[in-house]
């Protein structure tokens, strides 16, 4: 297979990341199952004797210093609320470094909790260091109560075979930020932007009409392409994108709807950069794209919702900021984007084999989900509220009113979103995102390139990654 040697080397190291919210250049590993002894992750039927004293719990995270400080507030409240457990959070580097350490750690060295990207849950379903959250919810008389109110789109995204695997910690979302004042002057209704061609036409109108110098800048990642495909919605892999079993085929060149949708995405970037309408793809979001949007030189920016606070700070009241979800690839009707393509970071329980530590890990997730604690993290970071309880909290309602009124449009959609936006669910999601990013980079740098040729290479690279993953991780 093409580039098989390179893929073999990459499989034992890294399949580089995206950005799921904020830290550019972070990466994620999709290595083989770590060297831990297989064990059932279901809750024991009978409780073993409880050890004396306070049980120490550890949470491994890839969140940076600022976000850890916000999480520490909730951790302190948890530690103060009871004497059975004491939780400590430990930074393990970026997403790549965290997952590499998990994959290399034996069972007796695992943390009790760890973070992982929401859109890549498929990369950890096969690992034996994951304890399924649903097993603990089912044994908890209050399990249904504390999860009630969590947005259905999130329940779907964090579930496998109908059962919750983990819980959202930082709920992100692919969006297009836009200058509301500029749109109004140009006579553009953001509600009319359903697909990528609509987005192109809006940007073209803004630049050609002299309202701005550039139509849009990007937080460069293949994650957004997966969102566009999910919103069509179209299955781009067999087994219903992996939800009905192990993915074996990439459908980017299937001659049908999947191929047309991928072509539409690549064609958008070709037209955008051929016309000179886009900020150079790969420009740094924080230091280059954000200042252009804030100054009014650029009308829009495609990024994630957790970048809102920094953008609002830079705009400093010069204009109203609007936000809409990433458009569908081709769907031009009101059914486009009825689902909610999830991003961000989740919290997961590790299968340490220690009954009481695993019970404590579950108790913390349950505690953390309460509105008064999660709202502190959401307002401080820009992440979305995970549940209606968080959304309705005084702190979050104040955030909407005083800081970001435009975000209400996202919640209006989220409250009624269905499960139609299915992101790829497999062990090579990171490689899929990387290859999509690479394809976009090629076309943005040279719009004269033939889209179908670039798309064929994209397909071959992704199919090679799937074949290698399946050969290295046979179905048990």
What's the confidence (pLDDT) of residue 182? Answer: 98
The packing angle between helices 355-368 and 371-381, to 10°, is 70
pLDDT under 50: residue ranges of the chain: 1-41
**431: CB partners within 8 A, 6+ apart:** 10, 15, 30, 461, 462, 465
| Helix/strand number for the chain, H first, E second | 20, 11
What's the confidence (pLDDT) of residue 39? Answer: 39
Bridge-partner residues for 171, per DSSP? 344, 384
What's the confidence (pLDDT) of residue 280? Answer: 98
Q: Per the domain annotation, does 222 fall within a domain?
A: yes
- Is the same domain home to 98 and 206? no
Bridge-partner residues for 345, per DSSP? 117, 170
- Is the same domain home to 154 and 66? yes
What's the confidence (pLDDT) of residue 337? Answer: 63
Residue range of the domain that includes 226? 173-340+424-472
| pLDDT 10s digits, 154-188 | 888 888 888 899 999 888 889 999 999 999 999 99
Q: Look at the pTM and tell me if it is higher than 0.75.
A: yes
**145: CB partners within 8 A, 6+ apart:** none
For residues 242, 247, 252, 258, the Cα torsion angle rounded to the nearest 10 degrees is -30
- Is the same domain home to 336 and 354? no
Please tell me whether residue 433 adopts helix, strand or coil conformation.
helix
213/106 Cα distance (integer angstroms): 54
- 213 phi and psi angles, rounded to 5 deg: -90, -35
Q: Per the domain annotation, does 373 fall within a domain?
A: yes
- Is the same domain home to 67 and 209? no
What's the confidence (pLDDT) of residue 6? Answer: 44
Q: Per the domain annotation, does 380 fall within a domain?
A: yes
- Is the same domain home to 331 and 353? no
What's the confidence (pLDDT) of residue 373? Answer: 78
How many structural domains is the chain composed of?
A: 2
Q: Per the domain annotation, does 231 fall within a domain?
A: yes
User: What are the structure tokens assigned to 397, written together?
Assistant: 């309602």
- Is the same domain home to 208 and 232? yes
What's the confidence (pLDDT) of residue 243? Answer: 85
- Is the same domain home to 182 and 153? no
- Is the same domain home to 393 and 266? no
Q: Give the end of a domain, one of 396, 414, 432.
A: 414
């Amino acid at each position: 297979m093409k580039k098989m040697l390179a893929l073999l080397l990459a499989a034992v190291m890294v399949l580089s990341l995206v950005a799921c919210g904020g830290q550019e250049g972070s990466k994620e590993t999709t290595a083989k199952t770590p060297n831990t002894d297989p064990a059932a992750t279901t809750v024991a039927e009978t409780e073993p004797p409880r050890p004396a004293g306070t049980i120490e719990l550890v949470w491994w995270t890839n969140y940076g210093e600022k976000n850890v400080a916000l999480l520490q507030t909730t951790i302190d409240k948890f530690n103060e609320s009871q004497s059975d457990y004491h939780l400590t959070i430990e930074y393990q580097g970026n997403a790549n470094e965290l997952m590499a350490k998990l994959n290399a750690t034996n069972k007796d060295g695992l943390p009790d909790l760890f973070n992982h990207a929401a859109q890549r849950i498929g990369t950890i379903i096969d690992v034996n260091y994951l304890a399924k959250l649903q097993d603990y919810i089912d044994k908890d008389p209050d399990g249904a109560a504390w999860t009630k109110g969590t947005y259905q789109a999130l329940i779907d995204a964090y579930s496998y075979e109908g059962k919750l695997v983990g819980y959202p910690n930082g709920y992100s979302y692919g969006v297009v930020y836009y200058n509301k004042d500029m749109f109004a002057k140009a006579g553009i209704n953001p509600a009319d932007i359903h697909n990528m061609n609509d987005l192109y036409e809006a940007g073209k109108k803004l630049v050609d009409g002299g309202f701005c110098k550039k139509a849009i800048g990007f937080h460069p990642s293949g994650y957004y392409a997966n969102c566009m495909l999910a919103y069509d919605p179209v299955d781009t892999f067999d087994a219903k994108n992996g939800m009905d079993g192990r993915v074996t085929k990439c459908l980017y060149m299937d001659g049908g709807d999947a191929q047309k949708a991928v072509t539409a995405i690549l064609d958008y970037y070709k037209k955008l950069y051929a016309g000179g309408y886009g900020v150079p793809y790969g420009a740094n979001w924080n230091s280059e794209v954000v200042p252009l949007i804030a100054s009014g030189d650029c009308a829009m920016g495609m990024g994630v919702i957790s970048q809102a606070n920094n953008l609002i700070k830079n705009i400093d009241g010069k204009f109203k900021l609007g936000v809409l979800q990433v458009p569908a690839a081709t769907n031009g009707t009101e059914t486009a984007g009825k689902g909610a393509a999830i991003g961000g970071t989740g919290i997961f329980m590790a299968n340490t084999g220690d009954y009481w530590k695993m019970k404590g890990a579950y108790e913390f997730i349950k505690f953390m989900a309460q509105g008064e604690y999660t709202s502190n993290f959401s307002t401080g970071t820009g992440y979305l509220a995970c549940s209606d309880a968080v959304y309705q909290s005084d702190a979050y309602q104040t955030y909407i009113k005083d800081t970001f009124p435009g975000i209400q449009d996202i919640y209006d959609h989220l409250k009624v979103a269905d499960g139609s936006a299915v992101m790829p669910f497999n062990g090579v999601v990171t490689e899929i995102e990387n290859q999509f990013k690479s394809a976009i980079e090629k076309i943005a740098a040279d719009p004269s390139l033939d889209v179908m040729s670039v798309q064929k290479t994209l397909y071959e690279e992704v199919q090679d990654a799937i074949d290698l993953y399946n050969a290295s991780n046979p179905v048990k």
